[in-house]
Structure 1
Amino acid sequence: MEIPPVVPPGRMSALPQTVLGLPDGWLLRPWEPYDAPALVASGTDPDIQHWNRTGRFTEARAEERIARYRANWEAEKAAIWAVAPAAGVPAAGLIGLADLDLPGGSGEILYWLLPAGRGSGVMAGAVARVSRWAFEELGLHRIRITHSVANPASCRIAEKTGFPLEGTMRGALLHADGWHDEHLHARLRTDGPVPT
């Protein structure tokens, strides 16, 4: 007997990438060409480069990446939003679902913030909002967050948004300063409402 896909093919691409509102006027919206400087800045920010593998961008490469974000939505490979403090304002960060396995019903949340967005508490709200979208609108069964064990800020975000720690993956990701153990946090759709 064949197991049916958790999320049928075409469901995600049929959904528009809507703007997701957050408290205090922040919003998650599709990336626009005018956000290219935010990607360029992410490539030179030492904290983003330390914890993420985003790489460096020229303006042209950043515009290509933004076009790829849109193409990946259509191809049902990833759902990437810009984190912006208000409508029409350039991005201050990124959040999304990557490593999507729609037939298996899972994906991984990834995120970063430029210095202008840090300390605002916006990322916990963004993780909660994307999680609700992924469970309620897309229909995923399981979402995970992984981060270096040396990054306690990401651990706090995961715990605050109801992603319990499941374990430590030894030597799981190569950073610029060597191999890092990674915490694995995960949440199931059946875990109840996502904390806000």
Structure 2
Amino acid sequence: MTYSSDTFYIEHLQYDDALHLNKLLVSNTERLKRFLPKTLAANRTLESTKSYIISKIEAMQSNTEFVFTIKDKYTRNIAGLVILKNLDWDKKQGEFAYCIGEKFEGKGWMSEAVKATSKYAIHTLGLTHLQIIAHKKNYSSVKVAEKSGFSWRKTLKSVFTPINESPIDMELYELRNEG
């Protein structure tokens, strides 16, 4: 998948992205640690980021998960990630997770990126049900879901446990393409 706007572009995660991905995640650890603990844990060092990328490339090749980078068009640095995970090919369903670096937040890039990757998931991969699961107080994530055309469906009770916290409720947003 490739997508380009005036200010950023999207492409599949590549091995050459290791340094920029590691810098993005390490420099944004505090703001991402509550909702992306597994991704952060897998990218603490440059070497672990290289291993993470290899595993994600293998996952893309086996159609079990897709990781897309959002890159600043002028610096070519990674501004964020869109991850299509929890794929169920029988149900034609997948879930999005995403993050963006603090200096790129509030520019509308993530909403545009989720819209573009949703089109890819529907038209290229053949998925019909896309989901975003966000905490109601993660206002930025909720805003991205809504601006990307996803609709709130229901509250999922105690489905996510942040590190050193009790289980918390999350909100389910869906985008359906029935044909």
Same fold by TM-score greater than 0.5: yes
Cα pair 1:98 1:107 within 8 Å, conserved = yes
Cα pair 1:149 1:180 within 8 Å, conserved = no
Cα pair 2:14 2:57 within 8 Å, conserved = no
| Unpaired runs of at least 5, structure 2 | none
CA RMSD of aligned residues (A): 1.8
Q: Residue 47 in 1 paired to residue 34 in 2?
A: no
Aligned residue runs from structure 1 range 150-189, under 5 A: 150-178=137-165, 179-189=167-177
Which residue number corresponds to residue 113 of structure 1? 100
Greater RCO, CA 8 A, separation 6+: 1
CA distance in structure 2 between the partners assigned to 1:34 and 1:94 by the alignment: 15
Q: Residue 90 in 1 paired to residue 74 in 2?
A: no
Which residue number corresponds to residue 101 of structure 1? 88
In the alignment, which of 95, 103, 118 is matched to residue 131 of structure 1? 118
Q: Which amino acid aligns with 1:55?
A: L
Which structure has the bigger radius of gyration? 1
CA distance in structure 2 between the partners assigned to 1:107 and 1:84 by the alignment: 23
TM-score (norm 2): 0.88
TM-score (norm 1): 0.81
Q: Deviation at 1:20?
A: 1.9
Which deviates the most, 123-132 or 111-120? 111-120
Identity of aligned residues (%): 21
Which residue number corresponds to residue 19 of structure 1? 2
Cα pair 1:93 1:112 within 8 Å, conserved = yes
| Unpaired runs of at least 5, structure 1 | 1-17, 192-196
